[in-house]
Amino acid sequence: MYIAAAVLSVILALVALAAGAPKAQLKGDVSAGLQSHMGLSAGFVRFIGLAEVAAAVGLVVGLFWQPLGIAAAVGFAITMIGAIGFHAKVGDYANPETRGNAMAPFALVLVAVAAAVTLTLAM
């Protein structure tokens, strides 16, 4: 079970880092889109980015100390549930042009839950 936990944790950590680093630095189209399209402040976008980067670090360290990895996976899942809420609030699921990008948090919640479960079973 540890191999599955490691694979899921590494994949999720890479995605979290790739998504969080530009937000934490307020660089790129995603950060600008969150501010203009969703109406989020720059400070909140940076906070989301830092939370995603922290989740990435927690998932990697969690390979050696599973309780931290479980907490990081659960925290990332909660962050993605918040993202689903924000996408719903601005109507991204009703708009065919924005629906594709808005579906990513659903998949990431599933991967985060799977990582948390496999890390728990690997203990």
Structure token digits, residue 32: 């600008």
> What pTM value is reported for the model?
0.88
Structural domain including 101 reads: 2-122
Q: Where are the alpha helices (DSSP H) in the chain?
A: 2-25, 28-36, 42-61, 66-89, 96-102, 104-122
Structure token digits, residue 78: 């909660």
Backbone Cα Rg of the chain: 15
pLDDT given at position 80: 95
Domain count, the chain: 1
63: Cβ–Cβ under 8 A, 6 or more apart, which residues?
Answer: 5, 6, 9, 10, 69
Q: For the segment 34-54, what is each residue's pLDDT rounded down to a tens digit? A: 877 778 888 898 999 999 999
C-alpha 60/C-alpha 116 separation (Å) is 13
Q: For the segment 53-71, what is each residue's pLDDT rounded down to a tens digit? A: 999 999 999 999 999 999 9
Q: For the segment 11-35, what is each residue's pLDDT rounded down to a tens digit? A: 999 999 999 999 998 887 887 778 7
C-alpha 49/C-alpha 56 separation (Å) is 11
C-alpha 97/C-alpha 109 separation (Å) is 22
pLDDT given at position 64: 92
Structure token digits, residue 118: 């496999």
